Amino acid sequence: MTPADQSLATRRICALAPVVPVIVIRDATQAVPMARALVAGGLPALEVTLRTPAALEAIRAMAGVQGAVVGAGTLLTPADVKAAKAAGATFGVSPGATERLLRACEDEGLPLLPGAATATEVMALLERGYSALKFFPAAVAGGAAALKAIGAPIPQVGFCPTGGISLQNARDYLALPNVLCVGGSWVAPDGLTAAGDWAGVTTLAREAAALRG
């Protein structure tokens, strides 16, 4: 899959809602209720981080939830890409971009939002054909002001900023023309997950879905 086709696919996914939840699943039995709760609140695109042993099983389970578009986050290696694809992930997200990771996504046909934080990183990915990127770590890399500045010389790249985004500051990013959506874990917090408070997750998702409404 070409980088250009990958970015077309990830742009479509980013257009589904203003926020992509960044989800950490520690117990695979939490996966389906979490996905249902987020979809019910209006957030269909879900990023499950490959940071826990339960992550791949969670992706497999969530992929069967009606309305959910399930991706794998924290892709670091070609093995991660293969495992995510095999589990049913339809897109991938990575905090950065390496040659091996990009080649694996191109070979496996997994649309990737590769991470970038500087103009040079953005230019390197654009040169390869990627025009939809993750901006990470968004808050400490300069926040919305940095993205606005990068957008002046490189307006053709769209971003999903992630890292330090909350209901309070999300609008600063979403107001920018080069922001496709934002990513964040605040809509799927550990506390609610551990408590099985799925109604609470739906409430957070609804507030997030209304950010661009």
Q: Considering the complex, state which of residue 111 and residue 183 has its C-beta at the smaller distance from ligand 3PG.
A: 183
Active-site entry in 47, 106, 121, 148: 47
Helix (H/G/I), strand (E/B), else coil: 91: strand
Annotation says 47 is catalytic: yes
Active site residue 148: no
Question: Taking the chain, what is the end-to-end CA distance rounded to the nearest angstrom?
Answer: 33
Q: What are the Cα distances from residue 39, in Å, to 57, 185, 207, 210?
A: 19, 15, 13, 13
CB of 38 to ligand 3PG, least distance (A): 14
Q: Which is nearer to ligand 3PG, 31 or 66 (CB)?
A: 31
Catalytic residue among 85, 99, 108, 134: 134
Torsion angles phi and psi, residue 19, rounded to 5: -130, 135
DSSP string, 40-60: HTT--EEEEETTSTTHHHHHH
Measured between alpha carbons, how far is 59 from 54 in angstroms, rounded to an integer?
9
A 10 A CB-CB count for 93 gives 29
Smaller CB separation from ligand 3PG, 21 or 151: 21
**What is the nearest approach in angstroms of ligand 3PG to the Cβ of residue 183?**
6
Nearest distance from C-beta of residue 73 to ligand 3PG, angstroms: 6
Q: How far is the CB of 116 from ligand 3PG (least distance, A)?
A: 13
DSSP assignment letter at 15: T
Give me the residues that bind ligand 3PG (CB under 6 A), please: 22, 49, 73, 136, 162-165, 183-186
14-48 exposure pattern, b = at least 16 Cβ within 10 A, e = fewer: bebbbbbbbbbbeebebbbbbbbbbbbbbbbbbbb
- If the CB atoms of residues 113 and 157 are measured against ligand 3PG, the closer one turns out to be 113
Catalytic residues: 47, 134
